[in-house]
């Protein structure tokens, strides 16, 4: 069984649109308790965007989420489940 890896996101621009992942961490609590947005790598190279505050589709679709491995902007491939469990992303460069 593979551990789930969590990648905290930080803003890379003043508008908060460019989201760059930080280090990967396998501790859910450490990431969820201290970061507003993070990627949950639930299978290798597939990421669910997670938010500590409620987000609508309009909120998160404007984000440019960068790949934790190559830095390219990723594509959304599945919609959100609720206001905290947001879209699934994958990198066409790495997948």
Q: What is the pLDDT of residues 42-77, one digit of tens each?
A: 999 999 999 999 999 999 999 999 999 999 999 999
- Parent domain of 43: 5-90
Please check whether residue 95 lies inside any domain of the structure. Answer: no
Q: What is the pLDDT of residue 1?
A: 52
Among residues 20, 17, 39, the alpha carbon closest in space to that of 28 is found at 39
Residue 88, pLDDT above cutoff 70: yes
State the Cα–Cα distance between residues 31 and 5, nearest whole angstrom.
10
pLDDT of residue 27: 93
**In this structure, is residue 33 part of a structural domain?**
yes
Count of domains in the chain? Answer: 1
Residue 63 lies in a domain: yes
Please, which pLDDT band fits residue 95 given cuts at 50, 70 and 90?
confident
Q: 0.75 cut: is pTM over it?
A: yes
């Amino acid at each position: 069984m593979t551990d789930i890896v969590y990648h905290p996101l930080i803003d890379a621009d003043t508008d908060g649109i460019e989201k760059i992942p930080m280090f990967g961490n396998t501790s859910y609590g450490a990431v969820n308790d201290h970061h507003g947005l993070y990627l949950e790598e639930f299978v290798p190279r597939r990421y669910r965007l997670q938010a500590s505050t409620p987000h609508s589709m309009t909120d998160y679709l404007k984000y440019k989420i960068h790949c934790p491995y190559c830095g390219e902007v990723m594509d959304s491939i599945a919609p959100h489940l609720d206001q905290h469990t947001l879209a699934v992303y994958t990198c066409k460069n790495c997948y």
